[in-house]
Amino acid sequence: MQVLIDVGNTNVCIGICENNTITKTYRLITEVNKTADEYYVLIHNMVDIRQVEKVYIASVVPAITTLLIELFKKYYNIVPLTLQPGTKTGILLKTDNPKEVGADIICDAIGSKKYGDEVLVIDLGTAIKYIYVQNNILKGVIISPGVVISMNALVKNTALLPEIDIKVPKNVLGKNTFDCMASGVTYGVAAQVDGLIERIKKEVNNPNLVVVATGGLAELIVPICKDEIQIDHNLTLMGLKEIGDKNILNN
């Protein structure tokens, strides 16, 4: 069994991989104030200590990375492989500073290979990442505020707008505060996704560019987009698995 862990700013996503297939996934809230022991209490019921062979971690939250490494060393007697600068990935990062590229973006880029030689991945997480990959080269990325960030900013910076659960309202034009706010952060993001896909397709001169979405809010946003977008919930984790396997084999 391989344990694949994608640490984001909002959630820690854990995938259990057996025979090259992710059989189970779990999500924990990212909490930097927890101890390694507290994370163990959450994780040990998900991850059978007797079956774990390898642990791979991709993280954009260094404090959580440290806790997870401590946890797996202490309770599982395993040193996790963590994705960091210098890790062999098998993809060329054509960016001004490759060391700045987030681990999640690299995993998404690697995971996109199953969809062809030229793919746009849209990762709908805390931030929205648009990741353009061509011939195993990461050629460009867009990062914008995600749905939750937009909603939090709206509530924080206004006196009378309440906190609400994020759902897609029936109509774009709302007639009450809830629907007005929900429409803004769902249909608004969907319009952004459609608009940026159109601009990216034009910039790369490929009107038939394959588009794949992943991330916690893909199920919420993709159905209200106009473009044809495939959803792959495990794309990031499978990209991490490929990177981990590559490094294990090369060591």
pLDDT tens-place string over residues 120-152: 999 998 889 999 999 999 999 999 988 877 777
Tell me which range, 7-21, 37-51, 156-170, is most confidently predicted by mean pLDDT. Answer: 7-21
CA atoms within 13 A on the CB side of 43: 27
Q: Does the pLDDT of residue 232 top 70, yes or no?
A: yes
- Between CA 32 and CA 109 the distance in angstroms is 27
The answer to the question of residue 67 being in a domain is yes
Residues 15, 77: one domain? yes
- CATH number of domain containing 58: 3.30.420.40
> 86: which 2 tokens?
């210098």
Which pLDDT band, with edges at 50, 70 and 90, does 59 fall under?
A: very high
- The pLDDT value given to residue 121: 98
- The pLDDT value given to residue 117: 95
Could you tell me if 152 and 222 are in contact, meaning their C-beta atoms sit under 8 angstroms apart?
Answer: no
Q: What is the pTM of this model?
A: 0.90
The answer to the question of residue 109 being in a domain is no
Which pLDDT band, with edges at 50, 70 and 90, does 95 fall under?
A: confident
Which pLDDT band, with edges at 50, 70 and 90, does 161 fall under?
A: low
Residues 158, 227: one domain? yes
Q: Does the pLDDT of residue 159 top 60, yes or no?
A: no
- Chain mean pLDDT for the chain: 90
CA distances from 99 to 81, 120, 157, 167, 241 (A): 18, 21, 34, 36, 20
The answer to the question of residue 199 being in a domain is yes
Domain boundary among 60, 82, 104: 82
The answer to the question of residue 94 being in a domain is no
Residues serving a catalytic function are 104
The answer to the question of residue 18 being in a domain is yes
pLDDT mean over 18-43: 92
Domain boundary among 82, 105, 136: 82
- The pLDDT value given to residue 163: 57
Residues 75, 124: one domain? no
The answer to the question of residue 160 being in a domain is yes
Q: 48-62 burial, b if ≥16 CB within 10 A, otherwise e? A: eeeebebbbbbbbbe
Within 157-234, where are the H helices?
A: 177-203, 218-221
Residues 14, 60: one domain? yes
Pairing between β-strand 81-82 and β-strand 92-93 as defined by DSSP bridges: unpaired
- The pLDDT value given to residue 158: 63
Residues 6, 67: one domain? yes
- Between CA 48 and CA 62 the distance in angstroms is 25
Domain that holds residue 35: 2-82
Residues 27, 123: one domain? no
The answer to the question of residue 78 being in a domain is yes
Residues 75, 149: one domain? no
Q: Does the pLDDT of residue 236 top 70, yes or no?
A: yes
pLDDT mean over 187-216: 96
- The pLDDT value given to residue 251: 57
Residues 73, 125: one domain? no
User: What is the domain count for the chain?
Assistant: 2
Could you tell me if 213 and 124 are in contact, meaning their C-beta atoms sit under 8 angstroms apart?
Answer: yes
Three-state DSSP class for 148? helix
Question: Sign (positive/negative) of CA torsion 228, 210, 190, 204?
Answer: negative
